[in-house]
């Protein structure tokens, strides 16, 4: 009733647990970016169908995964460090059985963990559309991609667990170093061309009924604000109250502020370089 696609790149550590969490599906696909470890062998041993594609950017890569041939009309999209809880698995199967034809996807609450602690307060954007009709779904934005679904979006109550630090702190930092470079390139390109595809609105950022629309406008407005790293840390600690998650919450807030500072520094560097070459 539900097909599964798992996106991978050198995921021999996390993939076994992810595959085990979706063992109830008889149509599991691993969409791999030419791993050099044992990811492919693990996937095939578990009975998953393996596909490989050279990674170019996040939106294009995820859109390519949606073009695979699936057995069922509904698709659960996962990264290897994510695990749908047993309760969520049951809820998803019940939801698609009763879903009307005008529903194109379901939004799920993801629980991020650090040091075995759920970042309940520190996590800024916990809601993600991950259960979709693939033919009605499309990703946009090359980094920190956003999925757009044609039709109504339902809500599921049970959680999807995410372990972004499962490979260690160095891996998380290296990954977000890459993210910050891609974000800076995107921001610098829009600012230098003065032709952003989005004119941000405070009203939309705060009041739009769609979470992802609000999120896009919030990001666009945030990128125009001075002192973003400090503002982000203060927002996470004082507004989101990440301190209620203890030391893991404060650690996560600090890491996110550092990530934001990387984006600021790299954007400035790219804009200076662009100005010199004009």
Q: Tell me the range of 125-139, 222-236, 264-278 where mean pLDDT is highest.
A: 125-139
Q: 156 lies in which domain range? A: 2-162
Domain edge (last residue) among 146, 162, 178:
162
Element (H, E) at 21: helix 15-21
What pLDDT digit, counting tens, does each position of 47-57 carry?
A: 999 999 999 98
> Are residues 145 and 71 part of one domain?
yes
Average pLDDT of the chain to the nearest whole number = 91
Q: How large is the angle between the packed helices 169-193 and 246-276, nearest 10 degrees?
A: 40
Please give the tally of structural domains in the chain: 2
What pLDDT digit, counting tens, does each position of 181-226 carry?
A: 998 998 888 766 544 455 677 778 777 887 667 776 776 777 777 7
Residues in contact with 144: Cβ distance below 8 Å, sequence separation at least 6, in sequence order:
58, 179, 183, 219
> Are residues 98 and 209 part of one domain?
no
> Are residues 100 and 213 part of one domain?
no
Domain edge (last residue) among 101, 136, 162:
162
pTM, full prediction: 0.86
Domain edge (last residue) among 162, 195, 228:
162
């Amino acid at each position: 009733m539900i097909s599964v696609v798992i996106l991978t790149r050198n995921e021999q550590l996390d993939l076994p647990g992810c595959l085990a969490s979706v063992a109830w599906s008889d149509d599991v696909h691993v969409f791999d970016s030419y791993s050099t470890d044992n990811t492919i062998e693990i996937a095939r041993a578990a009975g998953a169908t393996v596909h490989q594609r050279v990674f170019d950017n996040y939106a294009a890569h995820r859109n390519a995964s949606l073009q695979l041939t699936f057995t069922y009309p509904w698709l659960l999209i996962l990264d290897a460090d994510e695990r749908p809880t047993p309760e969520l698995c049951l809820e998803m199967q019940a939801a698609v059985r009763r879903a009307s034809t005008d529903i194109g996807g379901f939004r799920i609450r993801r629980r991020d963990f650090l040091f075995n602690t759920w970042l309940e307060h520190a996590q800024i954007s916990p809601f993600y559309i991950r259960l979709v009709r693939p033919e009605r779904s499309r990703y946009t934005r090359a980094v920190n991609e956003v999925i757009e679904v044609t039709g109504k979006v339902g809500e599921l109550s049970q959680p999807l667990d995410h372990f972004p630090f499962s490979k260690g702190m160095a891996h998380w930092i290296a990954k977000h170093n890459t993210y910050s470079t891609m974000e800076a390139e995107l921001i610098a390109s829009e600012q230098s061309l003065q032709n952003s595809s989005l004119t941000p609105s405070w009203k939309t950022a705060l009041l739009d009924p769609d979470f992802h629309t609000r999120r896009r406008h919030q990001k666009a407005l945030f990128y125009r604000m001075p002192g973003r790293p400090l503002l982000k840390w203060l927002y996470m600690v004082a507004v989101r109250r990440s301190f209620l998650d203890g030391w893991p919450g404060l650690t996560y807030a600090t890491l996110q502020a550092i990530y934001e500072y990387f984006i600021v520094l790299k954007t400035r560097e790219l804009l200076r370089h662009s100005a010199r070459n004009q």
